[in-house]
Amino acid sequence: MLKKRGIDVWALIFLIFVISFINTNSAQNFSRNNFPRDFVFGTASSAYQFEGAVKEDGRGQTIWDKFSHSFGKVIDFSNGDVAVDQYHRYLEDIQLMKDMGMDAYRFSIAWARIFPNGTGEINQAGVDHYNKFINALLANGIKPYVTLYHWDLPQALEDKYTGWLSPQIIEDFAIYAETCFKKFGDRVKNWITINEPHTVAVQGFDVGLQAPGRCSILLRALCRAGNSATEPYIVTHNLLLAHATAVDIYKKKYKPTQHGSIGISLDSFWYEPLTNSKDDIEATQRAIEFNLDWYLEPVILGRYPSSMVERVGSRLPKFSPTESALVKGSYDFIGINHYTTWYASKNKTNIIGALLNDSVADSGAITLPFKGIKPIADRASSIWLYIVPSGIRSLLNYIKQKYENPLIIITENGMDDANSIFTSREHTLKDTKRINYHNDYLTNLLDAIKEDGCNVKGYFVWSLMDNWEWAAGFSSRFGLYYVDYKDNLKRYPKDSVNWFKNFLGSA
């Protein structure tokens, strides 16, 4: 009897081994070949987080230069003065992308390198730098995807007329955008007007945790000025009109000869109802509308979501008929930056909402990554980033069903590790968690495309390398490549680089 049981145990162990072997080989067979032939893979970055060289070659000051040098705004008291020095090391970094087999690189142009004062005379040194950068990318077979605005507003415009709070910004952004189309559009065939307008409005003008750091009186310990009840909506309105004006210029004056495409990158969590109650299901819908649809509905349909019109009332700006026509259809593609999924439930007491009177409270939804004390999933390093791969498929299906399946590019997706003095470089390079993250999110993305028919044509990893992560400073490592901040910013491939090499067929 014991012998028979022993044989059963060993048989079971062998069966587990076989299943594991099959699953492992199945994972290895998952590659870019499973995706459509014209699908684009790349990595993403932004000027202030990567470039450094903030006082070189005529670059003007930005709101993030000022904000990051203000006491207590960045968790580790760092700034982007040097960042990861891509301004000087771009040839080295392009080689890293090429070695991985990436098709494209998403980066942003620093407005203050082209117009140091936001307007006026063009800084030729800035134009020359981006010409060299773009040419080097193309020479190595890497397509440039250029973001015009990734949060680094020239400080001169903030000082002159409070930046995005003034409609004057629409005209100045249009001039800057058209200058870029003229200077670079013969080679740049993919443009993104604005990155994450929702983050700009909420983090910068509602809760004050990002530049320019404005918020209401109850949060005055964080901010010197602001109105959380109105400013996020005003800023959003100007962001959308600036975006649409730039798109209109491009489509009418440059696209016919340059043959490029243009869109906007919107950030969005996915939200799941905390319970199956009607109240929580409705609150979940509002949470999505106050995050994604706040921007997507105007760009596609020329109007704000009805729930926002109802709940925000007179504080929500109105599009004139001319503005609505301008904003409606102002895209060739929609960029989606997606990282995580949270729960949503009805705010039953609304005490916080009554006290804060802001855009977050206006939704009437409470969003958290916990059910009781149980987290929704395993967490990355950032306190907000929980790993829920199915969320990307749900989000893409939501967009497909509500907005008739527009062309989507995933312009950011990734996860971070902590930058800890107690963790060695060797340990950090073994980033199995990141490999699993991308494998699982890409698997769900592929299912959304092939099984559900979602119209997705690209995927950009955030990020190429560890970098300066806004208010988190250097405390967070999102990169495929490790950057040694203590040794001349040397780049080292993490295991995820080898995973992508195999996935992309460049190994």
CA 361, CA 384: separation in Å to the nearest integer? 18
Sign of CA pseudo-dihedral 212, 218, 224, 230: positive
CA 437, CA 448: separation in Å to the nearest integer? 17
Q: Which of 158, 196, 297, 469 is catalytic?
A: 196
CA 43, CA 137: separation in Å to the nearest integer? 13
- In the structure encoding, which two tokens stand for residue 28, read together? 């290895």
Closest CA to 388 of 308, 350, 450, 444: 444
- Residue 378, classed as helix, strand or coil, is coil
Q: Which of 158, 289, 297, 412 is catalytic?
A: 412
- b/e map 362-401, b = 16+ CB within 10 Å: bbbbbbebeeeeeebbeebbbeebbbbbbbbbebbbbbbe
Sign of CA pseudo-dihedral 469, 471, 476, 482: positive
Closest CA to 147 of 39, 292, 302, 267: 267
Residue listed under structure tokens 């142009």: 109
469 is catalytic: no
- In the structure encoding, which two tokens stand for residue 267, read together? 């950030």
- In the structure encoding, which two tokens stand for residue 390, read together? 């199915």
Question: Are 83 and 48 a contacting pair, CB within 8 Å?
Answer: yes
Closest CA to 424 of 494, 501, 479: 494
- In the structure encoding, which two tokens stand for residue 409, read together? 């590019």
Backbone region of residue 411 per phi and psi (left: phi > 0; alpha: psi in -120 to 50; beta: other values): alpha
| Element housing 456 (H / E) | strand 456-461
412 is catalytic: yes
Closest CA to 38 of 411, 491, 458: 458
Cα–Cα–Cα angle for 103, 239, 357, rounded to 5 degrees: 120
- Residues noted as catalytic: 196, 412
